[in-house]
Chains A and B, each alone.
Chain A
């Protein structure tokens, strides 16, 4: 992660990578004619993007508070976000045109990208240090 000093840039980079990777399931489900999967996936992805943005705004607000009030604020906001996730998943279950599993995977896409990005960075660093040791 190069731009760790600038959270906005990191956020944009994460979203860019997420959308790029998401093209694969979206295009493949469209080609297979599974339109409910496409819609569910896009639904989950859009909500995940909005919740990431909300999380960032909450963090910025929390940093201007006292330690205890920031703790309470972030905890309460997490439970609100949790309720939103619940509503999204229940909507995906209830609606016949949205695939539930695809919506769940769409919600998880950003998390998968962040984890895989960190793992790739870790592997890169490990290989680089091995090469440097060898030199």
Chain B
């Protein structure tokens, strides 16, 4: 069996955790794209039905608040991996 010195093992662990943090950050891109798409559709919906502006804004606000949370989960995991808390 191959045995690594503690320095080599630490370097490997640090490198792998940085790579994993980068991979976790990919999850932050999805909500941004989705939110932008929803905002575009909401804009055209308000153009079509101006009287429904209030419910559209409320729905969009709540939807954006919830959809942003998946991105922040990945951010928290990435920070855990980088700083090794």
Contact = CB atoms under 8 A, between A and B. Distances in A.
The B contact surface, by secondary structure, is: helix
A76 to B, nearest CB: 8
Contact-size category for A? 35 or more
A56 B60 CA distance: 9
Given A70-B40, A107-B72, A75 B35 contact: yes
Contacts, number: 113
A78 B37 CA distance: 12
B43 A11 contact: no
Contacts of B35: 74-75, 78
A108 B69 contact: yes
B65 A52 contact: yes
A26 to B, nearest CB: 20
B54 A4 contact: yes
A78 B36 contact: yes
Interface of A: 1, 4-7, 10-11, 52, 55-56, 59-60, 62-63, 65-68, 70-75, 78-79, 81-82, 85-86, 89-90, 93, 100, 104, 107-108, 110-111, 114-115, 118
Given A78-B64, A104-B76, 10 more contacts: A7-B58, A7-B61, A10-B58, A66-B43, A67-B41, A74-B40, A78-B36, A85-B72, A89-B79, A100-B79
